[in-house]
Structure 1
């Protein structure tokens, strides 16, 4: 029984010292984090203003990109319509040639798909 009590006291002492070490390390970590937070606040004291400026610059750049994309989209639609019109006119003028080109393209596409599935 005395052996059991001695072991229990030893385990309690060890647990107490580990808990004390944990508390000390936690307090040290809290102190370091407080110091780092203070340094960050000093370094980025004007942070909200800089973030607002950065957001404004990004919004302006995104607006420019959006306008450029709209212009490119319009140009592509116009060019696509013109090309479609020319192709339609060529098909009406030379229907057999258009049929031969379409058949050739279909043959090439089928051959490529067949090779891809064979791998």
Structure 2
């Protein structure tokens, strides 16, 4: 049986990888928006001041969203770690109950998947 510490590390690693991927996607979106604002400025040469203000406003808003996402990511990692620790503690305290719950969840999941395949 795999150790719970190892599973905890795997879960935290997966969570971290997903959040890092999300941050990368967000950075790509930010780059595209900045490029779009630049292209728009080139296209509308008659009012570059307004477009520069728009670009600046977009940059500021994206920067604040990025900061909020970073803070949320930190909170998510902390809360996720706590949740994993709590589950790990409960499983160690009551292994038979944990096994019964896991079997029940597996049974329900198998039943739902079987129904989905039959209706397809």
TM-score range, shorter chain: 0.5 to 0.7
TM-score by length of 2: 0.61
Within a 5 Å distance, the mapping from 1:32-47 to structure 2 comes to 47=47
Task: Please name the residue that 1:53 is paired with.
Answer: 53
User: Where in structure 1 are there 5+ consecutive unaligned residues?
Assistant: 1-43
In the other structure, the counterpart of 1:113 is 113
SS of residue in 2 equivalent to 1:97 = helix
Runs of 4+ in 1 over 6 A off after TM superposition: none
1:84 shift after superposition: 0.3
Give the drift of 1:99: 0.2
Match status 1:93 vs 2:99: no
Q: How many residues align?
A: 76
Higher relative contact order (CA 8 A, sep 6+): 2
In the TM superposition, what is the alpha-carbon distance from 1:46 to its structure 2 partner?
Answer: 5.3
TM-score (norm 1): 0.61
Counterpart of 1:30 in structure 2 is none
Give the greater-gyration-radius structure (CA).
1
Q: Structure 1: how far apart are the matches of 2:45 and 2:101?
A: 69
Tell me, in whole angstroms, the C-alpha distance in 2 between the residues paired with 1:65 and 1:112.
38
